[in-house]
Amino acid sequence: MKKKNLVYLGIIVAVLLFFIILFILLVNGMKAQKLAQFDQSIISFVQQFVSPSLTNVMKGITFFGSIKWLTTAVIVIALILFFQRKFALGLFVILASGFGAFFNRWLKWLFKRERPDIFPIIEAQGFSFPSGHSMGAFIFYSSVAYLILHLSRSKVINLISTLFLFLFIIMIGLSRIYLGVHFPSDVVSGFVAGGAWLLICILIFRFYKYRKNR
């Protein structure tokens, strides 16, 4: 394996370990009720800006982290990749988001954290930790960013698209706090769990590509 690939692999593994450790710290903080002050302060700050017009905006943003939208987007992107005979990338998108959704459901069942009851603007079902919208959005939109980096040779396009998708992920997480359906620690844990899962998928994909090209 080339030195460049080893460095790339080392960075991915290091970031993956960081995400895993951070998620464990969040879980321990949640169980010990150490995140209550953090959650309350962020919720109070965000919801002071509540207004009818901003609520409509946040409802629109949160839709792009919903199961309905993400499922549709995954299918469309996968079909485009299959049509272009990029089967490995198509499967990568499907499996990353598909199994990521099951992973989120399992984590919610495992921790069984109830949703916040502080000024909920919309109704949401199920448990709260980690946020499914945040985790799903992180996995999907980061997968799209990875696809662009993988396929595009333009550094400008790569930079702009990555920054835009990163900010969009943050806005989806923020919308869940604004709408009163998640604690901030739910959102952060969703990002962290989503990041860890995506990196595992990238490692598997890179290993597949390496074996195929040998």
Q: How far lies 68's CA from each of 30, 62, 65, 71, 73, in Å?
A: 29, 11, 8, 5, 9
User: Domain range for residue 39?
Assistant: 3-213
Average pLDDT over residues 203-213: 80
Could you tell me if 185 and 38 are in contact, meaning their C-beta atoms sit under 8 angstroms apart?
A: yes
> Does residue 200 have a pLDDT over 90?
yes
Average pLDDT over residues 180-185: 92
Q: What global pTM score does this model have?
A: 0.92
Highest mean pLDDT among 86-95, 110-119, 121-130, 203-212: 86-95
Q: What are the tokens at 195? A: 């990041």
> Does residue 29 have a pLDDT over 90?
no
Catalytically active residues are 133, 182
Question: Tens of pLDDT along 132-156?
Answer: 999 999 999 999 999 998 888 888 9
Rounded to 10 degrees, the C-alpha dihedral 168/174/178/182 comes to 120
Question: Environment class of residue 201 by beta-carbon count within 10 Å: exposed (0-12), middle (13-18) or buried (19+)?
Answer: buried
Q: How many whole angstroms separate alpha carbon 118 and alpha carbon 30?
A: 17
Could you tell me if 46 and 55 are in contact, meaning their C-beta atoms sit under 8 angstroms apart?
A: no
* Structural domain count of the chain: 1
Q: How many whole angstroms separate alpha carbon 19 and alpha carbon 8?
A: 17
